[in-house]
C-alpha cells in the first residue's frame, strides 16, 4: 500500500515510526536486514536508527563500513555485518593495508557499535574475474590475521557472500554439490571457515527460480504458502518451500567437501514488489507474502528439514527501495520501506498481527494516525 499522499507531511514520517513499530514489536522477530544505500533519497542514518529500533530489528548488514551509520547506531544493541567491497579485495591481501582498514573502519566503532562480521567481497566466485577469485581467500586470511593482531578476532568473524549460483546441483537437497570449476576455490575456503569458525554466507532468491520458470515452479512453494511440498528421495525429508531446500543443498555441498562443522546463513533473500512486464511474479502481493511468511518462520525459530534444531539465520533484502540500482525494475523494488520510511506493503502482516488484511490496514491507518497525533501533542506539551 502506497501512502504517498501523506508523505509530504513531516509529521507522518514520525507517525510511520509509531505505526510500523507497533507491528514487529509484538512478534519479537530476530531477523536481520540488508541496509543498502544505492540511492539518493534515503533518510539520514540517525532517522534510520530510529526506524530500525521501532521495528525491533537487531541485526543489520551493510555493503560498506559507512562511518555515519556505525556512529548513528552507537549503543543501539544492533549487530552489524560490514563489508569490504570487491574493488578492495586485492588490497586486503597486504597485511598492512588490512590492518589499516580495520584501524579506520572497525577499531574506532567497535566499543560502541557491535560489529560481528566482515564480509570480504560479494558474489566473487560467480563473477567473471578469475584473478579476484584466486585473491579472495588470501584476502580473507589477511583480514583475519589483522584482526588477530588487533585482538579483535574473537569479536569479529570473517566471511564472504556467495550467490546460489556456486552450486552445480541443488536438487534433491541431499545431493547438492558445488560447481566443479569452483572446487579449487571452495575447498580451501571451507577449510578456512572451519578453522576460524565463521559462517558460510549465501544470497538466495527463490524469486529468480520462479521468474525463470513460472510454469513449472509452484508459486505456493516459493512463497512459503500451503502446498504439498517436495520429498527428497534420498532422505525422505519433505520440503514445503524452496529457500529451505536451497539451504540444505548448500549444507549437502559443504558436507560433500568433507565439512559438517560449518554454519550456513542466508546473507540475502527477498522478493521485489514491482518489476518489468517480463518479470513474472514481481508483485506487491507476492513480496508481502514472501516476507510475511519468512518472518513468521523466523519468529518460530524454525530450522530446515536437514537441521531442524538449527534456526535459520536470515538477512532480508532490503530495508529500502534503492532508486539508483541498475538493471531491471525489480532491482529497485526489493525494499520493505520507501525512502520516506513508509512501508511498501503492510509489514504488520509479518506474523499476522495486529492487522489482518490490507483493507483493515487502511481503515485502521486513520486510527493510528489519530493516536500518533495525540502522542505527538502530548510530547510537545511536555
Q: Which residues contact 308 (CB under 8 A, 6 or more apart)?
A: 302
Which listed residue (100, 123, 184, 322) is catalytic?
123
236 binds ligand NAG (CB under 6 A): yes
Which listed residue (184, 195, 220, 268) is catalytic?
268
User: Quick check: helix, strand or coil at residue 84?
Assistant: strand
Tell me which of 74, 130, 197, 301 binds ligand NAG, using CB under 6 A: 197
CB nearer to ligand NAG: give 7 or 25.
25
Question: Phi and psi of 165, rounded to 5°?
Answer: -60, -10
User: For residue 197, is it left (φ>0), alpha (ψ between -120 and 50) or beta?
Assistant: left
How many Å apart are CA 330 and CA 135, to the nearest integer? 32
Minimum CB–partner distance for residue 28 and ligand NAG (Å): 4
Which stretch of DSSP H or E encloses residue 319?
Answer: none
CB nearer to ligand NAG: give 108 or 339.
108
Select from 345, 353, 238, 312 the least CA-distant residue to 32. Answer: 312
Minimum CB–partner distance for residue 260 and ligand NAG (Å): 13
Minimum CB–partner distance for residue 215 and ligand NAG (Å): 29
CB nearer to ligand NAG: give 236 or 309.
236
Let me know if 87 is a catalytic residue.
no
111 binds ligand NAG (CB under 6 A): yes
86 binds ligand NAG (CB under 6 A): no
- Tell me the CA distances in angstroms from 46 to 12, 192, 238, 332, one per residue in order: 17, 37, 44, 23
CB nearer to ligand NAG: give 166 or 223.
166
Query: What number of CA atoms fall less than 13 Å from residue 159's CA on the CB side?
Result: 25
β 167-169/177-178 pair status: antiparallel
CB nearer to ligand NAG: give 42 or 332.
332
Let me know if 123 is a catalytic residue.
yes
User: Quick check: helix, strand or coil at residue 374?
Assistant: helix
How many Å apart are CA 171 and CA 122, to the nearest integer? 24
| Chain-centroid distance, C-alpha 253 | 22
CB nearer to ligand NAG: give 163 or 321.
163
> Vertex 177, ends 314 and 255: CA angle to 5°?
75
Q: Which residues contact 31 (CB under 8 A, 6 or more apart)?
A: 57, 59, 295, 298, 314, 315, 316
The one segment of 46-54, 84-92, 103-111, 183-191 that binds ligand NAG by CB under 6 A: 103-111
| Residues 247-306 interacting with ligand NAG (rule: CB under 6 A) | 263
CB nearer to ligand NAG: give 246 or 313.
313
Binding mask 121-150 for ligand NAG (x = CB under 6 A): ------xx----------------------
The one segment of 142-150, 197-205, 211-219, 337-345 that binds ligand NAG by CB under 6 A: 197-205
Contact (Cβ atoms closer than 8 angstroms) between residue 74 and residue 358: no
- The span from the first CA to the last CA of the chain, in angstroms, equals 34
Binding mask 353-372 for ligand NAG (x = CB under 6 A): -xx----x--xx--------
How many Å apart are CA 122 and CA 129, to the nearest integer? 12
Q: Which three cell numbers stand for residue 376?
A: 505527538
Minimum CB–partner distance for residue 381 and ligand NAG (Å): 25
Minimum CB–partner distance for residue 71 and ligand NAG (Å): 13
Minimum CB–partner distance for residue 337 and ligand NAG (Å): 18
Question: Phi and psi of 181, rounded to 5°?
Answer: -70, -10
CB nearer to ligand NAG: give 180 or 366.
366
| Residues 30-69 interacting with ligand NAG (rule: CB under 6 A) | 30, 56, 58
Minimum CB–partner distance for residue 187 and ligand NAG (Å): 19
Q: For binding to ligand NAG (CB under 6 A), which residues are involved?
A: 25, 28, 30, 56, 58, 107-108, 111, 116, 127-128, 155, 157, 197-199, 235-236, 263, 354-355, 360, 363-364
Catalytic positions: 123, 268
Amino acid at each position: 500500500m502506497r501512502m504517498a499522499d501523506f508523505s509530504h507531511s513531516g509529521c507522518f514520517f514520525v507517525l510511520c515510526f509509531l505505526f510500523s513499530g507497533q507491528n514487529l514489536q509484538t512478534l519479537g522477530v530476530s531477523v536481520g536486514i540488508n541496509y543498502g544505500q544505492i540511492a539518493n533519497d534515503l533518510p539520514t542514518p540517525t532517522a534510520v536508527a530510529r526506524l530500525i529500533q521501532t521495528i525491533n530489528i537487531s541485526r543489520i548488514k551493510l555493503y560498506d563500513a559507512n562511518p555515519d551509520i556505525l556512529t548513528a547506531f552507537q549503543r543501539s544493541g544492533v549487530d552489524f555485518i560490514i563489508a569490504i567491497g570487491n574493488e578492495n579485495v586485492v588490497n586486503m591481501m597486504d597485511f598492512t593495508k588490512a590492518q589499516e582498514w580495520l584501524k579506520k573502519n572497525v577499531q574506532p566503532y567497535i566499543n560502541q557499535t557491535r560489529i560481528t562480521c566482515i564480509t570480504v567481497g560479494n558474489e566473487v566466485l560467480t563473477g567473471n574475474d578469475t584473478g579476484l577469485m584466486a585473491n579472495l581467500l588470501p584476502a580473507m586470511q589477511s583480514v583475519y590475521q589483522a584482526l588477530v593482531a588487533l585482538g579483535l578476532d574473537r569479536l569479529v568473524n570473517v566471511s564472504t557472500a556467495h550467490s546460489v549460483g556456486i552450486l552445480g546441483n541443488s536438487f534433491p537437497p541431499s545431493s547438492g554439490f558445488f560447481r566443479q570449476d569452483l572446487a579449487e576455490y571452495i575447498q580451501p575456503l571451507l577449510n578456512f571457515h572451519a578453522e576460524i569458525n565463521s559462517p558460510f554466507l549465501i544470497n538466495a532468491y527463490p524469486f529468480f527460480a520462479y521468474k525463470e520458470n513460472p510454469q513449472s515452479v509452484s508459486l505456493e512453494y516459493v512463497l512459503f504458502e500451503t502446498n504439498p511440498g517436495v520429498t527428497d528421495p534420498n532422505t525422505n525429508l519433505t520440503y514445503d518451500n524452496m529457500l529451505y531446500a536451497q539451504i540444505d543443498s548448500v549444507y549437502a555441498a559443504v558436507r560433500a567437501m568433507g565439512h559438517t562443522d560449518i554454519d550456513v546463513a542466508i546473507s540475502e533473500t527477498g522478493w521485489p514488489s514491482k518489476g518489468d512486464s517480463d518479470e513474472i511474479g514481481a508483485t506487491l502481493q507476492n513480496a508481502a507474502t514472501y516476507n510475511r511468511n519468512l518472518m513468521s518462520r523466523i519468529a518460530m525459530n524454525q530450522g530446515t528439514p536437514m537441521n531442524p534444531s538449527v534456526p535459520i539465520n536470515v538477512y532480508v533484502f532490503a530495508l529500502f527501495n534503492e532508486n539508483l540500482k541498475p538493471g531491471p525494475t525489480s532491482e529497485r523494488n526489493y525494499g520493505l520501506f520507501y525512502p520516506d520510511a513508509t512501508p511498501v506493503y503492510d509489514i504488520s502482516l509479518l506474523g499476522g498481527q495486529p492487522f489482518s488484511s490490507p483493507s483493515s490496514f487502511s481503515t485502521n491507518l486513520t486510527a493510528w494516525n489519530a493516536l500518533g497525533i495525540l502522542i505527538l501533542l502530548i510530547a510537545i506539551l511536555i
